[in-house]
Structure 1
Amino acid sequence: MSEAPRVEIFTRVGCHLCEDALAIVRDVCAELGERYAETDIDADPELADRFTDLVPVTFVDGTQHDYWRVDPARLRAALGP
């Protein structure tokens, strides 16, 4: 069984902030050897209701980490030892 991703990012199609945040998440996770998962909130009505104005939203180890923008240094620190 594979280990669950430590980072989850909630996005929506056509969101330029989501594209920017996803690129940062992808780069930082690759650099640190961590996995991430992306979820389109519009595919789940409950997520769409909860996060509609906050996307992108990132979670690290199940705890909300950021919304709207992802700071690479802050993400690295959250994933560090």
Structure 2
Amino acid sequence: MAARITLYSRPGCHLCDDARVVIERVCAELGERYEEVDIDADEELQRRYGEEVPVTFVDGRQHDFWRVDESRLRAALTV
């Protein structure tokens, strides 16, 4: 099963840590998967998302940045 959620993050980011907790909880409840991408490993991703991390995508479309709203994420995954 392919991951429906992509979390763009960077090490040492407390907002990324918070987002990961929410995403992991929702994924566990709904049986979904997510993938995490370290933007610091890619110059282009650093340029695009450097000051907005964490950035989340659901089904290939940007969903949130800075914070993950659990209710919105759950709703997006149950559509």
TM superposition score normalised by structure 1: 0.95
- What stretches of structure 2 of length at least 5 have no aligned partner? none
Residue pairs, 1:1-81, within 5 angstroms = 3-81=1-79
Partner of 2:22: helix, strand, or coil?
Answer: helix
Opposite residue 60 of structure 1, the aligned amino acid is V
Q: CA deviation at 1:4?
A: 1.7
Structure 1 runs (4+) deviating above 2 angstroms are none
Q: May I ask how many residue pairs the two structures share in their alignment?
A: 79
- TM-score (normalizing by structure 2): 0.97
Render the CA deviation track for 1:10-45: whole Å, top value 9, x for unaligned.
000000000000110011011100000001100111
Q: How many angstroms apart in 2 are the aligned matches of 1:72 and 1:8?
A: 15
What is the alpha-carbon distance in structure 1 between the residues aligned to residue 28 and residue 56 of structure 2? 16
Using the aligned pairs only, state the percent identity: 62
Equivalent residue letter for 1:37: E
